[in-house]
């Protein structure tokens, strides 16, 4: 039974990664690609690691997994913020497709 | 469990191929950075799925290291790309000239 739940979690994580990759190829600019790219970095990896924790069920493994999840939740927004700020600075933002631009100088 | 493993590895193989397509085609360095982030996340996921199928903890430190290296890589590329000299730099100058 637990193996079934773990399998569902693993497949969910893999499907999220695939969805982000399809979006990477099809979406038009950096900002919409970044929107899609965050899914496997946080939710997808969390799903896979929860499935892994359900399979392993040992204290040492779960501690490491919690560490990985915490680190990923801390670093993924920072990296996305840096990439978004850099692309806004070098002028990749298409302002015609926005209804409101809070970063406008 | 073997079936789940095969399905997941298939999905992640397609993910990696599509990320490589974006890394090759991506018009700017930052597109490639975003695609590399997704590729690293998919690699971590693949290692985690392999550990779940085989029920072993040997590869868990690799996932920790991968997330660290991916973070440092994208942050430093973002800092570097701010001074990039290419078609994107020209667009920035055009926008500045107009305003």
Residue A67 lies inside a defined structural domain of this protein: yes
**ipTM, two decimals:** 0.88
Q: Which residues of B touch A55 (CB under 8 A)?
A: 52, 55
A18 in a structural domain: yes
Q: Quick check: A86 and B81 CB within 8 A?
A: yes
Question: How many domains is chain A built from?
Answer: 1
A11 vs B contacts (CB less than 8 Å): 4, 7-8, 11
Domain borders along chain B are: 2-85
Residue A15 lies in a domain: yes
- Does some domain include residue A97? no
pLDDT interval class at B14 (50, 70, 90):
very high
pTM, 2 dp? 0.85
Nearest to B52 among A51, A60, A68 (CB): A51
Our CA-based measurement puts residue A102 at a distance from the nearest CA of chain B, in whole angstroms, of 16
Whether residue A100 lies inside any domain: the answer is: no
Instruction: Give a yes or no: residue A78 inside a domain.
Output: yes
Over the stretch A5-64, which tens digit does the pLDDT of each residue have?
999 999 999 999 999 999 999 988 888 888 888 888 899 999 999 999 999 989 999 999
CATH number of the B2-85 domain: 1.10.287
Alpha carbon distance A25, A23 (integer Å): 5
| Domain span holding position A26 | 2-91
- As a whole number of angstroms, the distance between CA A51 and CA A60 comes to 15
**C-alpha to C-alpha distance for B23 and B34, rounded to whole angstroms:** 9
Partner A contacted by B65 (CB < 8 A): no
């Amino acid at each position: 039974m637990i193996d079934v739940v773990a399998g569902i979690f693993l497949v969910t994580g893999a499907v999220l990664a695939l969805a982000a990759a399809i979006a990477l190829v099809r979406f038009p600019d950096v900002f919409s690609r970044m929107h899609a790219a965050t899914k496997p970095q946080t939710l997808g990896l969390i799903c896979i690691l929860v499935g892994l924790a359900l399979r392993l069920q040992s204290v040492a493994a779960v501690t490491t997994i919690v560490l990985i999840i915490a680190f990923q939740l801390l670093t993924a927004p920072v990296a996305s913020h840096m990439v978004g700020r850099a692309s806004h600075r070098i002028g990749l933002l298409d302002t015609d497709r926005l209804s409101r631009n809070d970063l406008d100088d | 469990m073997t079936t789940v493993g095969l399905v997941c590895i298939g999905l992640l193989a397609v993910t990696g191929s599509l990320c490589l397509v974006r890394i090759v085609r991506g018009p700017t360095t930052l597109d490639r950075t975003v695609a590399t982030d997704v590729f690293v996340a998919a690699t971590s996921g693949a290692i985690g799925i392999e550990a779940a199928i085989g029920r072993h903890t040997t590869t868990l430190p690799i996932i920790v290291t991968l997330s660290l290296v991916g973070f440092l890589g994208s942050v430093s590329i973002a800092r570097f790309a701010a001074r990039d000299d290419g078609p994107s730099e020209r667009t920035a100058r055009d926008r500045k000239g107009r305003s």
